[in-house]
Amino acid sequence: MPNNRYSRQLILPQLGKEGQQRLRSSKVLLVGAGGTGGAIACLLVRAGIGKLTLLDRDVVEPSNLHRQQLFGEKDIGAPKAYLAPEVLRSMNSEVEVVGLAEDFSPANAERLVAGSDIVMDGTDNLETRFIINDACVKLGRPWIYVGAIGTYGMRAFIRPDRGACLRCFIPSAPGAGTVPTCATAGVLNTVPAIMGALAASEAMKYLAGAPVSEKLLVLDAWTEEYHSISLSRRKDCPCCGKRRFEFLEAPVQTKVQVLCGHDSVQITPPRPAALDLQRLAAAFSESGDVEVHGLWLVLVAGQHRITIFKNGRALISGTNDEKTARALYARYVGN
């Protein structure tokens, strides 16, 4: 196609040819490809970054469709990390897009962050944000924190070389069940779109070499009230002050996580496996309905829908109980 694709960006004095070239040579890591992550991905890919690596551990659910613009009804049940790159490449085939159906975890965090110029937060939980924060502070990489809940959105540009990190203003994770989630508080579908766009703007400014906002932005999309809050680094911050990276140092073991609001449990083995999905599918034929889709398979057994990835990770839907999920995993995949 004739390449005037970026003509409306090139004439912006804030970007120009040099800014566009800088975008073109940039590598972005996006953790989470849901509501905010999908908005970030679309905008950065259309703007012509060089490479986008996106991680997402979930499959598309009906309750995602009101806000997650990369996916439609036909995608229900399929892993977002495999669907999103295809959609994004259709928007701009000049960008290299890599999708990983993995958890962002201590096992892969430093390697992924080290290969990126900036990390974008498209997650829905604080635990993963603390892992991003640890890896970025340890390696001196910038990242953009983004949150969307109810009618509120938050955004902060974390620059470990200059200012506060996430744990300077959120020192530790509140107890389970004490903070609202999208499942308990809902989310207005414009909020992830707005916050994703505001985060993508800051990323483009940074990648193009322009100054960026150093404040925490909090806005209410319903009332249009917004606050811009100055953040300062705390000397006693366990992460950037004392350089203790607690979230990267978690022991390597099988991880069982109840995915809040999804009625599902994720099981991640300590080390990636290389499962023979065809063989597993044949073994499951008596247990329920099985479908193999290349890199993952789906087994529907009674009330449970079990998605098993080639690397051994599994999503068990239809339960919020760790013991039940562990037992199903042991039965179908092994220990």
- Active site (catalytic) residues: 182
Q: How far is the CB of 124 from Zn ion (least distance, A)?
A: 22
| Euclidean distance between CA atoms 278 and 297, whole angstroms | 9
For Zn ion, the binding residue among 237, 297, 298, 314 (CB under 5 A) is 237
Binding status of residue 132 toward Zn ion by CB under 5 A: no
Q: At what angle do helices 190-207 and 16-24 cross, to 10 degrees?
A: 100
Distance of closest approach, residue 29 Cβ to Zn ion, in angstroms: 20
> Residue 168 or 290: which CB sits closer to Zn ion?
168
Residue from 84, 188, 240, 290 touching Zn ion (CB under 5 A): that is 240
SS3 148: strand
Q: Which residues, in sequence order, are bridge partners of residue 218?
A: 154, 227
Stretch that binds Zn ion, among 30-38, 101-109, 237-245, 277-285 (CB under 5 A): 237-245
Is residue 158 close enough to count as binding Zn ion by CB under 5 A?
no
Please choose, from the candidates 148, 158, 105, 159, the residue with its C-alpha nearest in 3D space to the C-alpha of residue 128. 105
Round to whole Å and give the CA distance between 82 and 160.
32
Stretch that binds Zn ion, among 20-28, 46-54, 240-248, 301-309 (CB under 5 A): 240-248
- Closer residue to Zn ion, CB minimum distance, 73 or 161: 161
Taking alpha carbons only, the member of 187, 185, 150 closest to residue 35 is: 187
Window of 231-239, 284-292, 304-312, 323-331 that interacts with Zn ion by CB under 5 A: 231-239
Query: Is there binding between residue 135 and Zn ion (CB under 5 A)?
Result: no
* Residue 113 in the binding site for Zn ion (CB under 5 A): no
Name the minimum Å distance from CB 217 to Zn ion.
18
8 Å CB contact between 256 and 328: no
Contacts (CB under 5 A) with Zn ion, residues 166-225: 167-168
Contact 196, 221 (CB under 8 A): no
- 168, 225 contact by CB (below 8 A): no
Q: In what order do the strands lie in the sheet with 118-121?
A: 96-100, 51-55, 27-31, 118-121, 143-149, 152-158, 215-220, 225-230
Min CB(244)–Zn ion separation in Å = 11
Q: Is 299 in the site for Zn ion (CB under 5 A)?
A: no
- On whether the CB atoms of residues 123 and 78 are closer than 8 A, the answer is no
Lay out the site mask for Zn ion across 249-288 (x = CB under 5 A, - = otherwise).
Answer: ----------------------------------------
Residue numbers at the binding site for Zn ion (CB under 5 A): 165, 167-168, 237, 239-240
